Amino acid sequence: MGWSKANLWDTTRAKQIAREIANIGGYCGPAVVVWIAAVWNLHQGRNYDYENRLKNKSLFPDGPRRFFGRGPGFERSLNDILKRETNNELRLAGATYYRYSTIHKRLEDYDMPIIIRMLSPSFTDGLHYTALYKSYKQERQWQVDRIKFYWMDNGVYGRRNSGNPGLYVTGYRNVGYNVFTFGTKLVRRNT
């Protein structure tokens, strides 16, 4: 059994910021990036007006985004806005991860959040981005291990419970049988 965490993002202040961002509303990709940037900038001792930045549609226009690059009908990528919002200190790693156990391990190895791309709860809403900051792996003898994920989003999942609207905890899911079909990207220091 074991926890994997992005420790900076698993603090009381980080969770408060997640609540405030979820209450602003807006697109999920910018909300996730702004949360990661707000916690990072706080840790670096920099002022970062995440609420007003996220509301600024010239910085974060509405529209779909990719992990990397642009295409017709797409806004700046998550990687581009993550670098911009962290003074080019953070970026997305190139590798894409799908398997739950790999994602849990990367979180443990790097102590940095992982951005998950998945279908929205409502199929018509398309893809949704969340930021995984913690997971718990339950190892079971003679049975398949299970994992529980803790993530931040713009309120889509968090509003399903009576707690913080910016945070969500999944139920246990069997390792090996479940994947994130649309992939995940690890946040890395831009060295």
8-state DSSP, 62: S
How large a percentage of the chain has pLDDT more than 70? 95
146-152 and 173-174 beta bridge pairing? antiparallel
Q: Who contacts 139 (Cβ-Cβ below 8 Å, separation ≥6)?
A: 1, 2, 145
Q: Using an 8 Å Cβ cutoff, are 137 and 173 in contact? A: no
Q: What is the pLDDT of residue 124?
A: 62
Q: Give the Cα separation of 170 and 149 in Å (integer).
A: 5
Give the pLDDT of residue 13: 97
Q: Which stretch of 93-97, 132-136, 140-144, 158-162 has the lowest confidence by average pLDDT?
A: 158-162
Contact partners, residue 46, CB within 8 Å, separation at least 6? 87
| DSSP H/E element including 189 | strand 179-189
Report domain extents, the chain. Answer: 2-189
Structure tokens at 51: 């609420």
Task: Share the mean pLDDT of the chain.
Answer: 90
* Rounded-to-integer distance, Cα 121 and Cα 29, Å: 15
Q: What mean pLDDT do residues 134-152 have?
A: 92
- The pLDDT value given to residue 120: 79
d(CA 171, CA 131): 17
Q: What is the per-residue pLDDT across 63-95, written as a single tens digit (0 to 9) for each?
A: 888 899 877 878 889 999 999 999 999 999 999
The beta strand positions in 28-178, using DSSP E, are 90-92, 97-99, 114-119, 127-138, 146-152, 167-169, 173-174
- In the three-class reduction of DSSP (H, G, I as helix; E, B as strand; rest coil), residue 2 is classed as strand
